[in-house]
Chain A
């Protein structure tokens, strides 16, 4: 039986704050509140990566939050979609180029929907989630990996081991010299 059409009817959201100023987070809560009532579409803010379908990320990704970001992404079972919510999450926003943030989450994980705005309004969030649902419906159960991993997931006897995949990403593949804001290596990496 094909259950893929039910994906649209019960999207469970995992919300992660990767160093956001809380502006977007407040708007997410507003979207869940009685005025906008996302729950009427079956949306649930589950808070558990293993039971979620939509990964809703806010914030420009501080260095401390990178490992968590990748770990959460890895723990989500496919099919899954990622929404980058707010200007910071899409591009780095006003923090772009600063020494303590990565410029947007798409350096680490593949993003399906970008929602601009500082902060994004609840209407935009609902629009973005609806877009994400269309993508979710078409996705397959193929494994999707983060762009940078400490170790690749291994499969043994049909059991996939994803542990340690995000540990010690540390500098995200950069050496300490390369981590300096305007180092040529970093700029080069930004271009691709």
Chain B
């Protein structure tokens, strides 16, 4: 069963991305593209003439996609949460390396910003894992899914996760790493045709990764998981539509300032058994 879910993960992510484009359009009073639009984009990209910048660049992009898929697969199979977060970090590092492997200035700026956003969100992800450990005494995702819902005692860490989600999904106000039109997509600027598909699919996998983290807070309650994911989905898109992009120093200040405060307060509270 797990294998099926792991294989289907990118496809589900694509559907989620299609739903999101419609939801975002409806919020703006538009009709929006068809649900399967992301897949049409994929088929079209297959039909383009491939332009190769250098082999390492493409290879690192593919490795980014595969490592991210492994990270998602590890969550689905229910291994160690901390391990998953570090595998995800490795995937991000491949992306940064691919950004630096070409000579494009935009790619370098994008890779730099990607690194800076990692500085902002990585401590929070690790503290979230630490929160689960302090509460339960284990990192195992499988056991977290069997336990009680932890949103009540870890709600501040959930708030920190809410700050991480727009960064990971490249949403306003925290989309400075990609910054469409401003730095032309950052690290993905030099990818084209078939090679861009891997980055495009990796974007879908990020959706799955992030929402699987959200589900962790719901424990064994399926109802709560559905409510959490759908409300976070709507909230993130509402904020995306309603806010402007912040600059990268502000992004780090806001995420670390608010996020670290929330998570450390939560950890202290859990440590004293509150």
Interface positions of A (Cβ within 8 A of B)? 3-4, 6-7, 9-10, 12, 34, 37, 39-42, 45-48, 50-51, 53, 75, 77-79, 141, 143, 159-160, 162
Contacts and interface: CB of A to CB of B under 8 A. Distances in A.
A37 B40 CA distance: 18
B239 to A, nearest CB: 19
Interface stretch (B47-55, B121-129, B254-262): B47-55
A47 B46 contact: no
A9 B18 CA distance: 14
Interface in B50-89: 50-52
**Chain B at the A interface: SS class:** loop
A126 to B, nearest CB: 14
A50 B196 CA distance: 9
Given A39-B25, A40-B30, A47-B184, A6 B47 contact: yes
Contacts of B181: 45, 47
A162 B31 CA distance: 39
A94 B51 CA distance: 38
Interface of B: 21, 25, 28-34, 37, 40-41, 43-52, 180-181, 184-185, 188-193, 196
Nearest to B180: A47
A133 B131 CA distance: 53
A48 B44 contact: no
A141 B44 CA distance: 12
- Most chain-A Cβ atoms within 10 A of its Cβ — which of B25, B37, B48? B48
- Most chain-B Cβ atoms within 10 A of its Cβ — which of A40, A47, A50, A78? A50
B130 to A, nearest CB: 39
A162 B45 CA distance: 20
B189 A48 contact: yes
Given A10-B37, A77-B51, A159-B52, A51 B196 contact: yes
A42 B189 contact: no
A40 B31 contact: yes
Contacts of B47: 3-4, 6-7, 79, 141
Contacts of B41: 10, 12, 42
Contacts of B189: 48, 50
Given A77-B193, A160-B51, A37 B30 contact: yes
Interchain residue pairs A-B with the least CB separation, the first 4? A50-B192, A6-B43, A3-B47, A9-B40
B40 A10 contact: yes
B46 A3 contact: yes
A39 B33 CA distance: 6
A48 B40 contact: no
B49 A141 contact: yes
A34 B30 contact: yes
Given A39-B25, A42-B41, A141-B47, 7 more contacts: A7-B47, A9-B44, A34-B30, A39-B21, A47-B180, A79-B49, A162-B51
A34 B28 contact: yes
A49 B93 CA distance: 25
B190 A40 contact: no
Contacts of A46: 185
A9 B35 CA distance: 12
27 contacts: A3-B43, A7-B44, A7-B47, A9-B34, A10-B40, A12-B41, A34-B30, A37-B25, A37-B30, A40-B30, A40-B32, A41-B33, A42-B37, A47-B185, A48-B184, A48-B188, A50-B51, A50-B191, A51-B45, A51-B191, A77-B51, A77-B192, A77-B193, A79-B47, A141-B49, A159-B52, A160-B51
A72 to B, nearest CB: 11
A78 B49 contact: yes
A3 B39 CA distance: 12
A90 B46 CA distance: 32
